[in-house]
Amino acid sequence: MPRFVPQGTHTALVTPMRDDDARSVDLSALRALVDHQIAGGVDGLVACGTTGEASTLDGDEFEAVVATVVAQAAGRVPVIAGVGSNSTTKTVETTRNANRLGVDGVLVVTPYYNKPTQAGLLAHFRAVADASTSPVVLYNVPGRTGVNLLPATVAELARHPNIAALKEAAGSLEQIQETVRLTEFAFPVLSGEDALCVPTYSVGGRGVISVVSNVAPARTSALWRDQSGGRRDEAARGQVALLPLIKALFSEPNPQPCKMALHLLGLMAPVARMPLITATDATRAVLERELRALGLLG
């Protein structure tokens, strides 16, 4: 098995932008966000994933964000960097850059837009895993990429010594169960859907890469700790209690609402980088209501 195997609650960090039409990354706010997450009890951090608006960051910004998260975490929790693209060559290059910056693992999304076959996905992920000096976490999110990494393909990739886990965001509990079945509970499957955290845990999932934990790290972390500690009723109640906030955080394209929620908590400006925009006043009002309902605001 790879030396780092992710388990528990990992936050898919937003990338704070300065309040000037998001033209520059706010590294000071990013450091504060890292500390906020660790204080909330999360088990790991993911920099430059989908929630981190990685597709709009240039190479220098990517390196600055990853280096800042690694330095601020300072070994307190592991750091994973999102490195995927629709080009295998570019993904390998970005993976090597992330490894050089000291990450504990890399998150590799299925190549988007070009819709590879399952055989193409096998070749892509094996090439990245062969090139990486840190373990690879597969990332399946067909709603964004247009291609679904099927359970049989995951089971084949799980045999690779440098592939550590799967972030599953297909939105199908049946698909999660099939992956767990084919890998015989031996390969960590992480929920990529906040609304499916506890259901995923209940069928053998080992954790989550979460958006809502940006805003509610302690409550999100408690879901895994309660479930894995045998307090299943508490985990279920915690999942249900978070659902209105989760729905609000995905009422507009992610991470627009998440950034607004973090702004309401005083952690950063609410701006996203175009083509994303700042969340609407209507979404702000809903977020404020749900944050207050959970005791997170005021």
Please state, in angstroms and rounded to a whole number, the distance separating the CA atoms of residues 183 and 204: 11
Q: Which CATH number fits domain 8-230: 3.20.20.70, 1.10.540.10, 2.30.110.10, 3.90.1150.10?
A: 3.20.20.70
Catalytic residue among 90, 112, 115, 139: 139
The pLDDT score that the predictor gives to residue 2 is 65
> Taking the model in full, what pTM does it have?
0.96
Catalytic residue among 167, 201, 247, 259: 167
The ranges assigned to domains in the chain are 8-230
Tokens encoding 285: 């009002």
Find the helix packing angle between 256-264 and 281-293, rounded to 10°: 60
- Phi, psi for residue 208 in degrees, rounded to 5: -145, 145
Task: Please state, in angstroms and rounded to a whole number, the distance separating the CA atoms of residues 15 and 51.
Answer: 8
Instruction: Establish whether 201 is a catalytic residue.
Output: no
pLDDT digits (tens, 9 = 90+) for 239-258: 999 999 999 999 999 999 99
pLDDT of residue 19: 81
Is the CA virtual torsion 25, 197, 136, 10 positive or negative? positive
Residue 259 annotated to the active site: no
Q: What is the average pLDDT value for the chain, to the nearest integer? A: 97
**For 64-90, what is the mean pLDDT?**
98
Rounded distance between C-alpha atoms, residue 113 and residue 78, angstroms? 30
The whole-angstrom separation of Cα 257 and Cα 110 is 25
For the cut 60, the answer to whether the pLDDT of residue 276 exceeds it is: yes
What percent of the chain stands above pLDDT 70? 99
Residue that the structure tokens 């627009």 belong to: 256
For 211-229, what is the mean pLDDT?
98
Tens digit of pLDDT for each residue in 166-218?
999 999 999 999 999 999 999 999 999 999 999 999 999 999 999 999 999 99
3-state helix, strand, coil in the chain (%, to 5): 50, 15, 40
